[in-house]
Amino acid sequence: MCCFECCIKCLGGVPYASLVATILCFSGVALFCGCGHVALAGTVAILEQHFSTNTSDHALLSEVIQLMQYVIYGIASFFFLYGIILLAEGFYTTSAVKELHGEFKTTACGRCISGMFVFLTYVLGVAWLGVFGFSAVPVFMFYNIWSTCEVIKSPQTNGTAGVEQICVDIRQYGIIPWNAFPGKICGSALENICNTNEFYMSYHLFIVACAGAGATVIALLIYMMATTYNYAVLKFKSREDCCTKF
């Protein structure tokens, strides 16, 4: 019975909200960083082989994508560390709120650290909303190309002379300059691009990366609720003893 009560007490100190958020955050960041990195490399290969044969036309884009790949490494490392810190902070605040380790005590320093995590999590949540929106841009671009290919493959247009007039001009998205050659691909050549492994993989990897960014946003929202609630309870309990739990 004593062992059972001890287990129940230990389970009561687990910050389940922070634990779920941590798992979701790790999964989302892993999907975003891993799939995004490979998809960016595939995008460069598609541009070099089909839309911009002159290296100088997409040199700036290649540098930006390479920089983004390095940023992805930094994001993965930061969120791995930050997730562990938030989970540890969740264990601390949950144990303090539920008074699992004797008499409840809190300090101004502890409340200040909890408040800092609340502020930082809110900032990261807003930033990841922007990342989520940005990650939807390549999905939109690839979807437009794919849908154009589906029009070419449709029985109404397949085999007709009008097929060669169905085009995709990648320059309109602003990722390569207007003087890039050829920049525009039409008809059967466009259909061949859609049938390549690079296009198929990049399109689906960008979708998964966007979903990973969305999962990270949800994880940060859970973190926001957990850290805000625990901070409010810690601040309240430092003034008056009450039985509030999370």
Q: Tokens 């930050």 correspond to what residue?
A: 82
Residue 241 has pLDDT above 60, yes or no: no
Residue 134 has pLDDT above 90, yes or no: yes
Average pLDDT over residues 178-184: 83
For residue 29, the model assigns a pLDDT of 94
For residue 202, the model assigns a pLDDT of 93
Average pLDDT over residues 98-104: 51
Sign, Cα dihedral of 57, 59, 62, 67: negative
Which of 9-13, 68-72, 97-101, 228-232 ranks highest by mean pLDDT? 68-72
Instruction: Return the domain boundaries, the chain.
Output: 17-98+109-244
For residue 243, the model assigns a pLDDT of 44
- pLDDT tens digits for 18-58? 888 999 999 999 999 999 999 999 998 898 888 888 888 78
Q: Buried b / exposed e across 226-242, counting CB within 10 Å, b at 16+? A: bbbbbbebbeebbeeee
The 10 Å Cβ neighbour count of residue 66 is 13
Which residues, other chains included, contact 44 with Cβ-Cβ below 8 Å and sequence gap of 6+? 58, 61, 62, 65
CA distance 159 to 193: 18
Residue 15 has pLDDT above 90, yes or no: no
CA distance 212 to 19: 18
79 in Cβ contact with 29 (< 8 Å): yes
For residue 156, the model assigns a pLDDT of 66
CA distance 105 to 18: 22
- pLDDT tens digits for 140-172? 999 999 998 888 887 566 655 567 788 898 888
Give the phi and the psi of residue 239 in degrees, each rounded to 5.
Answer: -100, -35
For residue 101, the model assigns a pLDDT of 46
Sorting pLDDT into bands at 50, 70 and 90, what band is 100?
Answer: very low
Average pLDDT over residues 66-77: 90
For residue 139, the model assigns a pLDDT of 95
Count the alpha carbons within 13 Å of 89 in the hemisphere toward its beta carbon: 27
C-alpha closest to that of 83 among 117, 57, 54 = 117
